[in-house]
A and B are shown apart, each in its own frame.
Chain A
Amino acid sequence: MILVIAEQREGKLNRASWEAMAAAQQAGGPVKVALLGSGDEPLAAELAAAEAAEVIVVDAAALGEYTADGQVAALAILIEQEQPGHVFFAHTYQTRDFAPVLATRLGRSLITDVTAIRQESGAMVFVRPVFQGKLNADVTAEGPAPHLVTIQIGAYRGDAAVRGASPAAIRKVEIAVDAAAVRQKPEAPFKEAKQAVDLSQAERIVAIGRGIKGQEHLKLAEDLAKAMGAEIAASRPICDSGWLPMDRQIGSSGQTVAPKLYVALGISGAIQHLVGMKGSKTIVAINKDPEAPIFEIADFGIAGDLFEVVPAMIAELNK
């Protein structure tokens, strides 16, 4: 059995939880989903839509606000009770915060940032990137089950998670988490983080690069984004010039995204940018230079002047 740990924050499910779910379903075998928090009934109902054996809700006051200690204490007990073969997490910031501690606490293997899974002579073989994504390594877990696995964001598609014919059973589990054992005291989230756009949650992104030439042309890209209902983002030179804030930067020194649609305007496609968006479902590139590397990964490419192409696109979208 695979136990998928869903992630919530302030009453909202993290979109990547569905991706972990899809990974678990495709890996094969029965799947259970666990949700930790307090007062999360609506979220549990949302999760129950998935094709799963059951949804386990651990409702405890000590889990109301995320802390690594609380999470680890509750999950250690839950995993002990459920005896899953594997535990799947989405490779989110939160997972990165506590999963290593959990693995150490349980004395079990942890395989992180997994992009694909296949079965080989009865065992799961996990694929994870090494050398910054240049190579893929096949990894198998050693030691007794359960093995802990985190799934790279964007590697699986959340909407590919199979929905059940009828809602899965929801079971509440009482786990006493000793509030005194929680050493962290969470403070209010950073102001910065509040303002920052989380581009990884955007479904459509319009990204601009050097080809936009001047700050005064930004409006053109913004108009396209508006017409598409997309977030605006950029490659490094744009943010370096201060035309857009740093939190809109995509790439190895910015954010990693995997939207359904990524429109690259005047982006040549340096590898530093590509690693931040290559997981996008559909990539559309518009660039003057037909030799630009962005076209190697684009699903649709227009070798042309963005100042001619984009206004035409906006006009078409607004029809």
Chain B
Amino acid sequence: MDRETLEVDVLIVGGGPAGMSAALRLAQLQKAQGGEPLAIAVLEKAREAGAHMLSGAMLDPSALRELIPDFKEKGAPVASEVHHEHVYFLTKNSKVPFPITPPPLQNHGNYVISLNRFVKWMSGLVEAEGIDLFAGFPASEVLYDGDRVVGVRTRDQGIDKHGAKKSTFEAGVEIRAKVTILCDGVRGNLTKAVVRRLALDEGRQPQLYAIGLKELWEVPKDRIKAGTVVHTLGYPLKREEFGGGFLYAMPDGVVSVGFVTGLDYRDPMFDPHLTFQHFKQHPAIAAILQGGQMVRYGAKALPEGGWHTIPRVYADGLLIAGDAGGFVNSMRLKGIHLAMRTGMLAAETAYEAIRARDTSAARLWKYEERIDASEVRRELYPVRNVHQSFGYGLVPGLMYSGLSLVTGGWWLKDPMPAHAGFDRMAEIAEYYGEHKLDVDAPVRPVKVDRQLTFDKLTNVHHSGTRHTEDQPSHLIVYDTNICSTRCRVEYGNPCTRFCPANVYEMVDAGDGTKRLQINASNCVHCKTCDIMDPYQVIDWVPPEGGGGPQYDGM
């Protein structure tokens, strides 16, 4: 097939905080140093910049201050500075405040932001620099020359569900670049492929992930002061489960409430969405939300494995930045500033390499050197075993985490041993014993009142998710027989629970058995299925351009 080709110097794949920061940094270097202008392109799968961005979100402004010192004058949407913070340990009906706010959770000087508005604002700055931002163009494949990354191919558009070309068919474009910076986010489809092909994770620990679900609420204006930040541990999670809740208050009665759970839970019947509902029903949280209205919903996975799980982030013609590389501080629950910082460092490395006419791995290695010399390592190295330590339970995890503040993260065995999250999930029989369990009914059901608690479908509606209906499923399950046979018995089809958007359903096959139905157009692009499926037979690939959630204010 003939494909159009576009040649650029630097290709940035993914228009999140990492990609936007990389683009802006390149423009700044260009301005400061002059010379032949570089051709820079940014690819983004969402219809418009920022629409697929979701985070708590708490912003540590350190990287922003360096990248855009006059960010306030430039109108950065960072309205609410943190004023009050609370950390609670929740039991079923009450809350126990932590005597002091643990240092990693101290947020004074940070901002509560909407990440998608923040990124949209950044996209304006990027475009003002004359950089091409292609929104609505997902990249589907990495292009190689031998083992050298030479660019990406965008997804073909206009294919119907049977794989035939529709009248609107448009072949994907090959974008070739001297340096490709992958910023395709948590469990990025391209990063996943390239890490596998080039064995960039050799000698590293398996990445550990978490899934965060979040709703935006409008509550009476005098209910909670803007800039109030609440973090919780404990209920409704069991002691063996890693995670916690958050509630951030923004101006005008807008409240961001969410729940994050480690995707390394053992209970195959665990359901993050139900857990989130239980969390909202807790008196401490319900008191704030009562009488308010849920206006938005979203979900996204996040990489929490930390320092030892970061793959090699450079190769010939390639750099990896942001969540795609796993740059998140799971102790501080923050990654936006690290995404920005690694995006900036990747840009600096790419710029120098292109000017020196050498974009080989030997030269791009400087990216790793820059990271090691930067705040990124200073911040991530001491907390390198935090999520792993919670693998031993909540109490040992808390004790280790407290200890690490003194020891700088030292442990007898370093790296602390860890398993991939899906590997930890127990089989039904192992976890629940041999007694009969109805895997189609929740173990801890919740009464859906559509005021405080919602079912998944109602929530999905509030994510604004839309996909072209007539296209192949972008969730590829390589073996659906497993679903109705082995998985049903062994794990009870956990995909129907861990997916926060009701994409996976087991429906009657008509012969007394169940078959998997994939409601791909519900997908909010959180990547949890790709991460957590116990047989690793689910592959998330990007859908037709522009498809996905339409987050606003998230």
Contacts and interface: CB of A to CB of B under 8 A. Distances in A.
B464 A132 contact: yes
Interface centre among B457, B461, B469, B517 (most CB of A within 10 A): B461
Contacts of B519: 240
A275 B466 CA distance: 14
B65 interface: no
B553 to A, nearest CB: 10
B458 A135 contact: no
A134 B462 contact: yes
A135 B457 contact: no
Contacts of B464: 132
B470 to A, nearest CB: 8
B469 A271 contact: no
A210 to B, nearest CB: 9
Interface string A106-149: 00000000000000000000000001101100000000000000
B295 A135 contact: yes
Contact of B461 (A214, A240, A246, A271): A271
A253 B461 contact: no
Interface string A73-116: 00000000000000000000000000000000000000000000
Interface string B35-54: 00000000000000000000
B: contact size bracket = 10 to 19
Nearest to A213: B508
A86 B339 CA distance: 50
B458 A270 contact: yes
Contacts of B470: 246
B469 A253 contact: yes
Contacts, number: 31
A122 B536 CA distance: 64
Interface in A214-255: 214, 240, 246, 252-253
A290 interface: no
A272 interface: yes
A293 interface: yes
B528 interface: no
Given A246-B469, A253-B521, A293-B450, A271 B295 contact: no
B461 A132 contact: yes
Contact of A272 (B295, B461, B469, B517): B461
Contact of B295 (A134, A252, A270, A275): A134
A270 B521 contact: no
A133 B476 CA distance: 32
Contacts of A270: 455, 457-458, 461
A: contact size bracket = 10 to 19
A270 B505 CA distance: 15
Contacts of A275: 461
Contacts of B457: 270-272
Nearest to A239: B469
A271 B517 contact: no
A131 B458 contact: no
A275 B470 CA distance: 21
Contacts of A132: 461-462, 464
A271 B457 CA distance: 8
Contacts of B450: 293
Contacts of B296: 131
A94 B455 CA distance: 36
Nearest to B550: A132
A271 B296 CA distance: 14
Contacts of B461: 132, 252, 270-272, 275
Interface string B469-488: 11000000000000000000
B517 A240 contact: yes
A89 to B, nearest CB: 25
Given A270-B457, A272-B461, A131 B517 contact: no
Contacts of B510: 214
A215 to B, nearest CB: 9
Contacts of A135: 295
Contacts of A253: 466, 469, 521
B150 to A, nearest CB: 38
B491 to A, nearest CB: 24
A132 B457 CA distance: 14
Contacts of B462: 131-132, 134
A252 B460 CA distance: 12
A178 B455 CA distance: 56
A271 B521 CA distance: 15
A293 B461 CA distance: 15
B283 to A, nearest CB: 24
Contacts of A252: 461, 466
Given A252-B461, A253-B469, A272-B461, A131 B295 contact: yes
Contacts of A240: 517, 519
Nearest to B454: A271
A250 B450 CA distance: 22
Interface string B435-464: 000000000000000100001011011101
A67 B517 CA distance: 42
B464 to A, nearest CB: 6
A309 to B, nearest CB: 23
A275 B450 CA distance: 16
B171 to A, nearest CB: 23
A301 to B, nearest CB: 17
A240 B519 CA distance: 9
A131 B464 CA distance: 8
A155 B217 CA distance: 27
A271 B460 CA distance: 10
Contacts of A293: 450
A135 B517 CA distance: 32
A252 B522 CA distance: 11
A175 B521 CA distance: 47
Contacts of B455: 270
A270 B455 CA distance: 9
B453 to A, nearest CB: 13
A313 B460 CA distance: 35
Contacts of B517: 240
A43 B458 CA distance: 43
Contacts of A131: 295-296, 462
A10 to B, nearest CB: 23
Contacts of B466: 252-253
Nearest to B461: A271
A134 B455 CA distance: 16
Interface string A262-281: 00000000111001000000
B223 to A, nearest CB: 18
A57 B470 CA distance: 41
Contacts of B460: 272
Contacts of A271: 457-458, 461
B392 to A, nearest CB: 41
A29 B477 CA distance: 61
Nearest to A132: B464
A132 B460 CA distance: 12
Contacts of A214: 510
A138 B460 CA distance: 26
A253 B296 CA distance: 19
Interface string B280-305: 00000000000000011000000000
Interface in B320-357: none
Nearest to A293: B450
Given A253-B466, A272-B457, 9 more contacts: A131-B296, A132-B461, A132-B462, A134-B295, A246-B470, A253-B469, A270-B455, A270-B458, A270-B461
Please give me the 3 A-B residue pairs with the lowest Cβ-Cβ distance, nearest first: A271-B461, A270-B457, A271-B458
26 contacts: A131-B295, A131-B296, A131-B462, A132-B462, A132-B464, A134-B462, A135-B295, A214-B510, A240-B517, A240-B519, A246-B469, A246-B470, A252-B461, A252-B466, A253-B466, A253-B469, A253-B521, A270-B455, A270-B458, A270-B461, A271-B457, A271-B458, A272-B460, A272-B461, A275-B461, A293-B450
